[in-house]
Structure 1
Amino acid sequence: MKPIFARGISNQFRLTLAIILSVILLVANDRLEPARKSISSLLSPMQYVANIPGAFLDWSAETIATRNMLERQNKELLRQQLLMSERLQRFEHLRQENERLRALLGSPVHMDARKMVAEVMEVASDPFRHYVVLNHGASSGVYVGQPVVDAHGVVGQVVEVSALTSRVLLISDVTHAIPVRVTRNDVRLIAQGTGEIDELELRHVAKSTDLRVGDLLVSSGLGKRFPEGYPVARIMQVDKDDGQSYATVTAQPLAALDRIRYLLLLWPDGEAPETKAEAKSEVQAGSNDGENKTQ
């Protein structure tokens, strides 16, 4: 009986044809290269058009990622700059102390104090009060009396703390005073705010005191409020009037008090007094619980 559908090309013929074509392509490969390039050139615009949506999505993702990355890098670099500036502030103090003592092992400067970068949220609008409000408060461990510095020197101290914010009294305020000493000769003085943002006054300075214009004043560490060695101001004028009992000495703060934005909160002892008190109370409570259980 004759089949309804005729048989197609046999498998042997197909194999033979494929082998012949393969040999021809291998031999003529170099000669087909110009034609291949021409076809590729003709199809390139179509490839670009087909790739536009994917390229646009990749560009958008890269742009967003790059912007976020730059913002993170800027914040991290600013934080590192503040931390490094805080360390560099004490180099002059350490250099002169090294010249006098030939060793820094006994230096009381706190090199490993805990630090935190804070941003200024508000500046006092009252011209007779100099303070700023920071975006960190008791929830971050900030405490009353905590020293605050910027990239150039001492800014002031915390005088009021809430849960999320804190108020810093600047060293230029008339109610603020800080113990300082001259790095050149270790003369100890008190720098008092004058109400002027760029001026401090050294009160009750004897006329015989060896002070010179340009002398650097650093925190002396007395009073245990500000750690020793942080730059405070530089003497700008020394007036020894014969009609006055004391010399009139003015200094200019090194911190940029009129344009501060980011500040550095310091924990000279590593943690706030409240944290220590809470830890101590927890330890005592644990001891009492242990004694009760033993009994």
Structure 2
Amino acid sequence: MLLCAVAASALMFVDHRFTRMEEVRAQLTTVVAPIQWLVAVPSDVLAWGSLALSDQRALVEENRRLREQVLHLSHRVQHMSSLTAENVRLRELLGAAARLDASYITAELLSLDSDPFTHQMVIDRGRRNGVFVGQPVLDASGLVGQVTAVSAYSSRVLMVADASHALPIQVNRNGLRFVLQGSGQYDALRVIHVPDTADIRVGDLLVTSGLAGRFPPGYPVARVTEVVHDPGQPFARVTAEPVARLQRSRHFLLVFPPDPVPVPDDEMWDREPPDEPEVDAELASAMEELD
């Protein structure tokens, strides 16, 4: 036990001081990936067995609910298509550039970090699938987090609930921009540095602002649950709840940034610099006399 403790301390010291350990960790993660898949096999078998032995009546009821959900989502998609068309027309009137659709790949949960002080997970997509460090991860409801480490076949994701995670957001209602930080709890996030007079209310939807270029703009992140104004304090205490199902989701989307749009060079850059203005001869002589 003492030898293991000394070895662990040495590895932590080397990991903290040197960057070479990141490559070693990535290689070890690649080696451990088959073991993670084998560990997940019993749960998959149990899930398949429970599905095969489930009651037919429960399946019929679930099928009915899914049909209702499909109809509801179809109605929302039709409404969103009309809003998208209207948005395109308004952007054409304003002369603004249209937003590009981002591509994505799907991923599935492999394991959750057992450390109660961190909120991380491992997914089954890695470098071979084009995953990169900093890539946004979403579920069906909203933003889950971002990729922090990548191996060949799997990746580690830092969730928005982790205390070390922060991202720029904006209030969907009025566009006010703030910073959202994790609190170490799955159901609570902190909106930091909110002026006491800021127009933010309970129920406001917080979406990614797109600042810093890490997260695409417009993706839902959290909803405000509490706003506390302390007399005499310059900032209010604002708490929000993630819209993503951090503890229940098993399937995720990894979003890729859209290709940059080439911006045409302005004609002003092609113009020759203007000639220096000519100085009047009498003014020049007067200046010489003053000198």
With normalisation by structure 1, the TM-score equals: 0.57
Give 2:195's match in structure 1, choosing from 194, 200, 206: 206
The answer as to 2:176 corresponding to 1:187 is: yes
The answer as to 2:136 corresponding to 1:147 is: yes
- DSSP 3-state at the match of 1:234: strand
Q: Unaligned regions of 5+ residues in structure 1, if any?
A: 1-66, 68-76, 272-295
Q: Which runs of 4+ in 1 moved over 3 A?
A: 104-110
User: Deviations along 1:169-192, whole A, 9 cap, x unmatched?
Assistant: 000000100110011110001000
The answer as to 2:219 corresponding to 1:230 is: yes
2-structure distance, mates of 1:175, 1:108: 34
Per-residue deviation, 1:168: 0.5
Per-residue deviation, 1:244: 2.5
> Does the 8 Å contact 1:238/1:250 carry over to 2?
yes
Supply the AA of the counterpart residue of 1:103. L
Supply the AA of the counterpart residue of 1:197. Y
> Does the 8 Å contact 2:146/2:157 carry over to 1?
yes
2-structure distance, mates of 1:104, 1:127: 47
Aligned 1:1-295 pairs, distance under 5 A: 98=87, 103-105=90-92, 106=96, 109-111=99-101, 113-269=102-258
- DSSP 3-state at the match of 1:172: coil
Aligned residues: 184
Per-residue deviation, 1:269: 2.4
1-structure distance, mates of 2:193, 2:161: 18
Alpha-carbon RMSD across the aligned residues, in angstroms, is 3.0
Supply the AA of the counterpart residue of 2:239. T
- DSSP 3-state at the match of 1:194: strand
> Does the 8 Å contact 1:114/1:270 carry over to 2?
no
Supply the AA of the counterpart residue of 1:252. E
Aligned CA distance change for structure 1 residues 182 and 134 (closer, same or farther; 3 Å): same
Aligned CA distance change for structure 1 residues 244 and 231 (closer, same or farther; 3 Å): same
Supply the AA of the counterpart residue of 2:230. D
Q: Unaligned regions of 5+ residues in structure 2, if any?
A: 1-51, 53-65, 261-291
Compare CA radii of gyration and give the structure with the larger one. 1
1-structure distance, mates of 2:186, 2:108: 19
Aligned CA distance change for structure 1 residues 107 and 179 (closer, same or farther; 3 Å): farther
2-structure distance, mates of 1:149, 1:121: 15
